[in-house]
Amino acid sequence: MFKQMTNGLAGAIAAASLAMPLAASADLSDDMVKIGVLSDMSGVYKALEGPGAVIAAEMAVEDFGGKVLGKSIEIVSADHQNKPDIGASTAREWIDDGNVDMITALDNSSVALSVQGLASDRKVITLNTGAGTTALTEDQCTPYGIHYVYDTHALPVGTATAMVKNGGKKWFFITADYAFGHSLRDNTSAVVESLGGEVVGDVEAPLSTNDFSSYLIQAQSSGADVIGLANAGQDTVNAIKQANQFRIVQGGQKLAGMLVFISDVHSMGQDIAQGLQFTTAFVWNQNDEAEEWSRRFYDRHGAMPTMVQAGVYSAVSNYLKAVDETGTDDSDAVREALGNMTLNDMFVKNGKIAANGSMLHDMYLVEVKKPEEASEEWDLLKVVSKIPADQAYISMEDTTCNLVNN
- What is the pLDDT averaged over residues 208-228? 96
Q: What is the pLDDT of residues 141-150, one digit of tens each?
A: 999 999 999 9
- What is the pLDDT averaged over residues 222-231? 96
Four-residue CA torsion sign, 180, 185, 186, 192: positive
Looking at the fold, whether 216 and 317 belong to one and the same domain comes out as: no
Rounded Cα–Cα distance for residues 356 and 334 (Å): 15
- What is the pLDDT averaged over residues 300-308? 98
As for how many domains the chain has, the answer is: 2
pLDDT band for position 25 (cuts 50, 70, 90): very low
Looking at the fold, whether 347 and 316 belong to one and the same domain comes out as: yes
* pLDDT in the model for residue 1: 40
* pLDDT in the model for residue 22: 37
Q: How many CB atoms lie within 10 A of CB 223?
A: 11
Looking at the fold, whether 146 and 197 belong to one and the same domain comes out as: no
Looking at the fold, whether 274 and 290 belong to one and the same domain comes out as: no
pLDDT at 263 over 60: yes
* pLDDT in the model for residue 406: 55
Rounded Cα–Cα distance for residues 4 and 398 (Å): 25
Rounded Cα–Cα distance for residues 1 and 402 (Å): 12
Burial class (CB in 10 A: 0-12, 13-18, 19+), 173: buried
Looking at the fold, whether 299 and 242 belong to one and the same domain comes out as: no
pLDDT at 277 over 60: yes
Rounded Cα–Cα distance for residues 109 and 294 (Å): 26
Rounded Cα–Cα distance for residues 283 and 347 (Å): 9
pLDDT at 292 over 70: yes
pLDDT at 215 over 90: yes
Question: Phi and psi of 295, rounded to 5°?
Answer: -70, -35
Helix 307-326 with 331-340: angle, nearest 10 deg: 110
Chain-centroid distance of CA 107 in Å reads 8
Q: Is 336 a domain residue?
A: yes
- What is the pLDDT averaged over residues 147-160? 95
Looking at the fold, whether 220 and 241 belong to one and the same domain comes out as: yes
Q: How many residues appear in the chain? A: 406
Would you say 64 and 317 are in contact if contact means Cβ atoms under 8 Å apart?
yes
* pLDDT in the model for residue 27: 86
- What is the pLDDT averaged over residues 319-343? 98
Chain-centroid distance of CA 329 in Å reads 23
**The residue type at 62:** E
Rounded Cα–Cα distance for residues 272 and 274 (Å): 6
* pLDDT in the model for residue 6: 37
- What is the pLDDT averaged over residues 217-234? 96
Q: Is 396 a domain residue?
A: no
pLDDT at 16 over 50: no
Q: Is 229 a domain residue?
A: yes
CATH number of the domain where residue 55 is located:
3.40.50.2300
Q: What is the pLDDT of residues 53-90, one digit of tens each?
A: 999 999 999 999 999 999 999 999 999 999 999 999 99
Question: Phi and psi of 331, rounded to 5°?
Answer: -65, -35
* pLDDT in the model for residue 26: 65
Q: Is 401 a domain residue?
A: no
pLDDT at 239 over 60: yes
Rounded Cα–Cα distance for residues 209 and 260 (Å): 16
- What is the pLDDT averaged over residues 269-273? 92
Looking at the fold, whether 301 and 345 belong to one and the same domain comes out as: yes
Higher-pLDDT residue of 24, 40: 40
Q: Write a three-state SS string for the chain.
A: CCCCCCHHHHHHHHHHHHHCCHHHHCECHHHCEEEEEEECCCCCCCCCCHHHHHHHHHHHHHHHCCEECCEEEEEEEEECCCCHHHHHHHHHHHHHHHCCCEEEECCCHHHHHHHHHHHHHCCCEEEECCCCCHHHCCCCCCCCEEECCCCCCHHHHHHHHHHHHCCCCEEEEEEECCHHHHHHHHHHHHHHHHCCCEEEEEEEECCCCCCCHHHHHHHHCCCCCEEEEECCCHHHHHHHHHHHHCCCCCCCCEEEECCCCHHHHHHHCHHHHCCCEEEECCCCCCCHHHHHHHHHHHHHHCCCCCHHHHHHHHHHHHHHHHHHHHCECCHHHHHHHHHHCCECCCCCCCEEECCCCEEECCEEEEEECCHHHCCCCCCCEEEEEEECHHHHCCCCCCCCCCCCCC
Q: What is the pLDDT of residues 187-208, one digit of tens each?
A: 999 999 999 999 999 999 999 9
- What is the pLDDT averaged over residues 292-321? 98
* pLDDT in the model for residue 290: 98
* pLDDT in the model for residue 17: 39
Q: Is 324 a domain residue?
A: yes
Looking at the fold, whether 221 and 137 belong to one and the same domain comes out as: no
Looking at the fold, whether 243 and 381 belong to one and the same domain comes out as: yes
How far CA 212 is from CA of 80, 157, 253, 304, in Å, comes to 25, 26, 16, 28
Rounded Cα–Cα distance for residues 259 and 173 (Å): 13
pLDDT band for position 405 (cuts 50, 70, 90): confident
* pLDDT in the model for residue 359: 98
pLDDT at 12 over 60: no
Looking at the fold, whether 178 and 256 belong to one and the same domain comes out as: yes
Residue-number span of the structural domain to which 186 is assigned: 154-283+363-390
Looking at the fold, whether 231 and 258 belong to one and the same domain comes out as: yes
Rounded Cα–Cα distance for residues 283 and 262 (Å): 8
Q: Is 5 a domain residue?
A: no
Looking at the fold, whether 89 and 230 belong to one and the same domain comes out as: no
Q: Is 399 a domain residue?
A: no
Q: Is 16 a domain residue?
A: no
